[in-house]
A and B are shown apart, each in its own frame.
Chain A
């Protein structure tokens, strides 16, 4: 769903939800919680806008794997947490890693939603892209470009990470696929002959 929503609209949505006009506002105030124009708001907006990147990576992988491995673990008495840790997670780890990287790349450059929610309080609720905008609007081009190059540098690091994950993940899959030709039932009879003694 959040894919189809403009980040700016998402930002407005959070302001409506947690801002002064919201019925939630008095409760938040009582508990001394600032969401809009504060760090929690920025985090919320970022998560909302970027999370689809993780789900988009995970859903197809999980759908293609089905749930029979999890069911097999259930029939052997494994608990929900054990199943997640030992069966589900290892199967989705590459997709999950890839999703997290994509997600952080998006989070780094996120402008629209955060711009609306943050309120541009310098040194307090500013993100890198927002800071660039402020500097640029102040005609402070040198500083703006300096900050921008920090952003570019971070982007390159993420790109490298992404390629590493993709490359390494694929390599492991290829290795697993490299099954040798094995004679089918060569050891079968020998094993069956020992059934009596082993049971």
Chain B
């Protein structure tokens, strides 16, 4: 069952293309992350779904109904603004009650619904405070409750965690994810933080320059990025201008590529490799080591390129200036505006043998 369908929407501000032929579908009950760099048009897409901005062309469906000509209040959506946009001069209670008052609900109904939501967001004893008397995280939850109060089908959240300090953010993320899933509501949230998107979203839609680069579950986006942009944007990627200089990749036409740390095997000696393959293993100089908690990040220079890999803590320590052996399992090679996965030739030969 599709909850949201966006079909070929475009939006220009002057001659700037904020949205360029954007299309995607969202299933009911899914929590979707709209991920992209700042200025890539995420907020614009969200505001067009909400009806706060009108697309120049294209169609938007919510719950199977075309909503292009419906005002925001009639679309069955709840919107969480990046700045929360709480009503400053109203108490928490009045803020949450606003949408219900507009719907002319009875006083008892409003009271019980607001109390239920205040309980849900853990602010049952704060309903008589004003927004300015609350912390950032609490304000965000009030905005969440206010958006939920009129029972929307679809919740739209613009950078919901951006203005909250790191410690609380982590806790709020999992709380929001659990709460949205428990309520069974469909939600789209905007973020420029890939860790956040991977952690919170069921599916991710990646935007760049007003276009959709790729949509899919996090694992899929991570493992098979369809465009050079996604390959670069996701993960801790290193781009090389020509990957055919590396051993194991010489038989390809020269082409730029992306390497992820997990594609690299870095060893202190050739024997330390799981399967020593001297012909397809590079030699390099360690340029830096960084302790990363569960692993050690190693930056190693190979043929003038700095590559990045991880090494387990249990392995022999490698220091800056040491020689190291580097085996590259695979590379995302560029192919016009697509990417292809290129495996090390040693691995392919091996699979032929088996």
Where the two chains meet, the residues of A that have a C-beta atom closer than 8 Å to any C-beta of B are 66, 68-69, 71-78, 82, 86-87, 90-91, 176-180, 182, 184-192, 194-196, 198-199
Q: Which residues of chain A are near B54, meaning CB under 8 Å? A: none
Whether B119 pairs with A194 at a CB distance below 8 angstroms is yes
Q: Is the pair B150, A76 in contact by a Cβ cutoff of 8 Å?
A: yes
Name the residue in A86, A87, A184, A190 with the highest tally of chain B Cβ atoms < 10 Å from its Cβ. Answer: A184
Is B79 a contact of A75 with CB atoms below 8 Å? Answer: yes
Instruction: Name the contact of B102 in the complex, choosing from A78, A185, A188, A192 (C-beta under 8 A).
Output: A78
| Cα-based distance from A171 to B239 in the complex (angstroms) | 57
Contact assessment for B130 and A176 in the assembled complex, using a CB-CB cutoff below 8 Å:
yes
B72 interface hit (Cβ, 8 Å): yes
Pick the 5 closest A-B CB pairs, nearest first: A77-B73, A191-B122, A187-B122, A76-B99, A68-B85
Q: Which of A74, A91, A176 contacts B133 (CB 8 A)?
A: A176
Give the distance in Å from the alpha carbon of A190 to the alpha carbon of B135 in the complex: 18
User: Chain A nearest CB: distance from B115 CB in Å?
Assistant: 9
Interchain nearest-CB distance for A174 vs B (Å): 11
> Closest residue to A182 on the B side, CB-wise?
B135
Known: A69-B87, A74-B71, A74-B73; 15 extra A-B contacts, CB below 8 A, are A69-B85, A75-B52, A75-B77, A75-B79, A77-B74, A77-B103, A77-B150, A78-B98, A176-B132, A179-B133, A185-B168, A192-B175, A192-B178, A194-B119, A195-B183
With CB as the reference atom, state the residue of chain A lying closest to B88: A91
A180 and B133 in contact (CB under 8 A), knowing A75-B79, A91-B89, A195-B179? yes
Q: Does any Cβ of A come within 8 Å of B124's Cβ?
A: yes
Q: Does B81 contact A (CB under 8 A)?
A: yes
Min CB–CB distance B29 → chain A (angstroms): 13
- Given A72-B81, A182-B138, also A198-B71 (CB < 8 A): no
Q: What's the minimum C-beta distance from B4 to chain A, rounded to whole angstroms? A: 16
Q: Verify if B83 is at the interface (C-beta below 8 Å from A).
A: yes
Size of B's binding interface in residues, CB under 8 A: 51
Evaluate whether A75 and B73 lie within 8 angstroms (CB atoms) in the complex, with A180-B133, A187-B123, A189-B122 already known: yes
Return the contact of B135 from the options A68, A74, A184, A192 (Cβ within 8 A): A184
Residues 113-125 of B, flagged 1 when their CB comes within 8 A of A and 0 if not, give 0001101111111
Which residues of B are in contact with A by a Cβ distance under 8 Å? 50-52, 71-74, 77-79, 81, 83, 85-89, 98-99, 102-103, 116-117, 119-126, 130, 132-135, 137-138, 141, 146-147, 150, 168, 171-172, 175, 178-179, 182-184
CB of B149 to closest CB in A, whole Å = 8
> Do A69 and B99 have beta carbons less than 8 Å apart?
no
Please indicate the chain B residues that have their CB under 8 angstroms from the CB of A73 in the complex.
87, 98, 102
Given contacts A68-B83, A69-B88, A179-B134, contact A74 B52 (CB under 8 A): yes
List 25 A-B pairs, Cβ < 8 Å: A69-B88, A71-B81, A72-B81, A75-B52, A75-B73, A75-B79, A75-B147, A76-B98, A76-B102, A77-B73, A77-B103, A82-B102, A87-B87, A176-B130, A177-B132, A182-B134, A182-B138, A184-B137, A185-B137, A185-B175, A187-B122, A188-B122, A191-B121, A192-B122, A199-B184
A-side contacts of B87, CB under 8 Å: 69, 72-73, 86-87
Contacts of B73 in A (CB 8 A): 74-78
Q: Is B122 in contact with A71, judged by CB distance below 8 angstroms? A: no
Would B123 and A185 count as touching, CB distance under 8 A? no
* Across-interface contacts of B86 in A (CB, < 8 A): 69, 72
Secondary structure dominating the interface of B: helix
B160 to chain A, nearest CB (A): 14
Residues of B within 8 A of A191 (CB): 119-124
Q: Is the CB of A68 within 8 A of B81?
A: yes
Q: Which of A76, A90, A186, A198 has the most CB of B within 10 A?
A: A76
Please indicate the chain A residues that have their CB under 8 angstroms from the CB of B141 in the complex.
Answer: 188
CB pair B150–A195 under 8 Å, yes or no, is no
Nearest CB to that of A173 among chain B residues? B132
Which residues in B have their C-beta under 8 angstroms from that of A177? 132
Query: Contacts A69-B85, A75-B72, A199-B183 hold; do A188 and B98 have CB atoms under 8 A apart?
Result: no
Contacts of A69 in B (CB 8 A): 85-88
A191 to B83, CA, bound (A): 23
Q: From A192, which residue of chain B is reached at the shortest CB distance? A: B175
Q: How far is the CA of A74 from the CA of B50 in the complex (A)?
A: 10
Q: How near does chain B come to A189, taking the closest CB pair, in angstroms?
A: 7
CB-nearest residue of chain B relative to A189? B122
Cβ of B142 to closest chain A Cβ, rounded Å: 12
Q: How far is the CB of A191 from chain B (nearest CB, A)?
A: 3
* CB-contact partner of B122 in A68, A86, A87, A185, under 8 A: A185
B9 to chain A: closest CB distance in Å?
19
If A77-B102, A194-B119, A194-B120 touch, whether A188 touches B150 (CB-CB below 8 Å) is: no
- In the complex, the chain B residue whose C-beta lies closest to that of A78 is B102
Cβ contact within 8 Å between B85 and A71:
yes
Chain A, residue nearest B148 (CB): A199
**Which of B85, B117, B126, B137 has the most CB atoms of chain A within a 10 A radius of its CB?**
B85
What is the minimal beta-carbon distance from B219 to any residue of chain A, in angstroms?
A: 27
